[in-house]
Structure 1
């Protein structure tokens, strides 16, 4: 599986409260948003610390460009400049993810073909990164100065009444930023001004960082051509998986029809015949003559119920809906002829969406079925956990056994894994999931799958 197929979209911004939401919820959301704005303040305050790296990279880049006509000596500076620009861009991505929870995916490989000097000069990625570093070194540092001035003045205003009283100059306050003169004002008014300045600091910081986030996504992320190529591949994948999913659903419908015809239907026909014979025996010979037919009818009814449960379990097991993935996978392990160890690493209260649960359940079910039929394994381990993949929660699972191996995956589809795994691969691809199989001859076999945590809607 390539890195592109494993790349997820950035985290979705928080949706504001609906107009009809209870009034008690709105202040809590506004307060939480205000408090989170202090992370934007921290992000801006760190700009001057990274300024030395950014300015060094920009100076080397500009100097290298100027010296290129001088016998090509500028190329000697462009190489370290590119490295420093890349390091600065990586630092900015890390700070955005760590402090603002904004994940900017890295761009793809160099789109320019040809000799190395052509790639150095015409590769658009370093120039876009340099543009972002220039913005951070100017607009970002300006934002850092503004929020530091607001926060510093607010803290000074809060402390000013106590300091003024301690110095014996109650009601007299020096003006900030070295402005000559004094201010005469009540202590309550000065403290209120300090609270107001501190309250304004997070929204102002968020405004500055909003501009920075937009430019980071435009300059540090994939370019327009790369995004269009990703969309084209996405459309092609959806077109292919849609047709395969339709075929898989049709095959599943035929399987259910066959199971119903060969199992419960035959049992119910036998039950009807036995009840009819019991009725005739009751009319002719009394209760004793009808007893054997009633016993046979009871056995047929029990078998029909068992068959119906088996068919229903193949469609969607009730235990999965009622008790979640942990209980459903444990039930599969208990019914497996091969000993199975189950490890579920998220609490039952944190359940994925029903669609994600169902897909993960059938992945485990198909893997255990194939292991029992073909692997000749003595032990199977099933692991299920929740994982953060570039800002998006993913339900991950791994099924490993110590069997003979020999199954194969090719280009994201199952080559020799049978129609069951092929259908699972198509179903996973249709919901932005993936399936990977590592099964060398002689074993062991490891099947891994990932599906978005909230595919098809959350709980």
Structure 2
């Protein structure tokens, strides 16, 4: 369940969310009491398994809070816990839990939510209840409770509003409570939820550590990928162009010998053969260079390269470009090859009838969506084509997301942080296809 985006429906849904948050505060109070009792028992051996159970229960409660608060604020709160060894002894697990800073941040939020959270949600629901109750009370006294022997429920000490006419004087109080609830209730709950984000989310140090780890993995993948590319280029040169050039040298040597023997006709035949070999070698080298950096990228830019790719593809491919500006050359090459690999994967496995490529660039993020109407079931399997795309994008801190239910359709989304390099021309919003 997610919070509605419409402001009116969101405010109307907030009381239900507040009831859920209020119930979580009651659970927090029970867990807080259990944690205090565990602190007393932990000096005995029996307190160790109890402590582990209580801390794990607090984590379950904290994860529920992260989901609820995240849905309310429309944000993602990452889980900050480190991975625990599965075969560790019970006392080792307890020690790891106690030493982890995220555990004590959970406990701090537990204490806050069991006290301040109880008051915040009770106050919000109380104002909402006053508004609703005193607005509908005159109607209730006229209809449902008109035969009650003592319908007085509004004895304020100085005056008893015991008739429907008298309860009309409480309508301004209900309206004031309703206005306060409508105007400030959501802000009040959001303020409290933001306080929860500060404690339930990872610290800046934890985020930095995770980021460094991701960059290290990305660097390792990039180095491995670059080494594999160098080996491929070396193999292609050795098996292709190098062998042909060696054969060319032998052919020219034989032609030279024939010229020394005054056999020009046979020498001319060998020279013609050598010229054809030179042409073939040049074609192979052009193909090899095209695999390193396609000339079409330099000549026509990323949009033109995608359109040329669409025209050469065996399936009908339409390209919708909303790029706007030119991108840095290394990023263009990475995005071009990644898109080409995805299209090749579709040709091999998808059994699709048509493909659409949508390119957008918003808020410093290049997004390429490749959609096909094939049979679906695509996954990022280790060693597969999509895994290679993910590794290529990782070098630029990019991500790959695959939405491919069985039966299709499939949407592969590639997102790469990017900045503009300059004007790209007038090729925006221009569909092209085969």
User: What is the TM-score normalised by the length of structure 2?
Assistant: 0.53
What does residue range 415-426 of structure 1 map to in structure 2 within 5 Å?
426=395
**Do 1:47 and 1:137's aligned partners in 2 also have CA atoms closer than 8 Å?**
no
State the partner residue of 2:160: 182
Distance 1:153 1:238, change over 3 A: same
The counterpart of 1:450, out of the listed 411, 414, 419, is 414
Q: Over alpha carbons, which structure has the higher Rg?
A: 2
The counterpart of 1:91, out of the listed 64, 84, 90, is 64
State the partner residue of 1:333: 310
Distance 2:347 2:219 in 1: 37
**Do 2:77 and 2:200's aligned partners in 1 also have CA atoms closer than 8 Å?**
yes
State the partner residue of 1:122: 99
Please tell me whether residue 314 in structure 1 is matched to residue 300 in structure 2. Answer: yes
Distance 1:54 1:316 in 2: 55
**Do 2:341 and 2:385's aligned partners in 1 also have CA atoms closer than 8 Å?**
no
Please tell me whether residue 54 in structure 1 is matched to residue 34 in structure 2. Answer: no
Distance 1:189 1:343 in 2: 67
**Do 2:356 and 2:370's aligned partners in 1 also have CA atoms closer than 8 Å?**
yes
Distance 2:200 2:41 in 1: 26
State the partner residue of 1:64: 38
Distance 1:137 1:396, change over 3 A: farther
**Do 1:41 and 1:202's aligned partners in 2 also have CA atoms closer than 8 Å?**
no
CA RMSD in angstroms comes to 5.6
The counterpart of 2:46, out of the listed 73, 88, 91, is 73
State the shift of 1:367 in Å: 4.7
State the shift of 1:236 in Å: 8.5
Distance 1:410 1:53, change over 3 A: same
**Do 1:360 and 1:451's aligned partners in 2 also have CA atoms closer than 8 Å?**
no
State the partner residue of 1:137: 114
Q: Which runs of 5+ in 1 are unaligned?
A: 1-28, 241-308, 321-327, 387-391, 415-423, 438-445
Q: Which runs of 5+ in 2 are unaligned?
A: 221-294, 360-364, 373-377, 403-409, 421-428, 430-434
Q: Which moved more, 1:74-83 or 1:158-167?
A: 158-167
Distance 1:393 1:372 in 2: 18
Distance 2:206 2:34 in 1: 28
State the partner residue of 1:197: 177
Q: Which moved more, 1:193-202 or 1:175-184?
A: 175-184
Distance 2:161 2:299 in 1: 79
Q: How many residues end up aligned between the 2 structures?
A: 311
Distance 2:114 2:80 in 1: 22
Distance 1:56 1:455, change over 3 A: farther
**Do 2:400 and 2:414's aligned partners in 1 also have CA atoms closer than 8 Å?**
yes
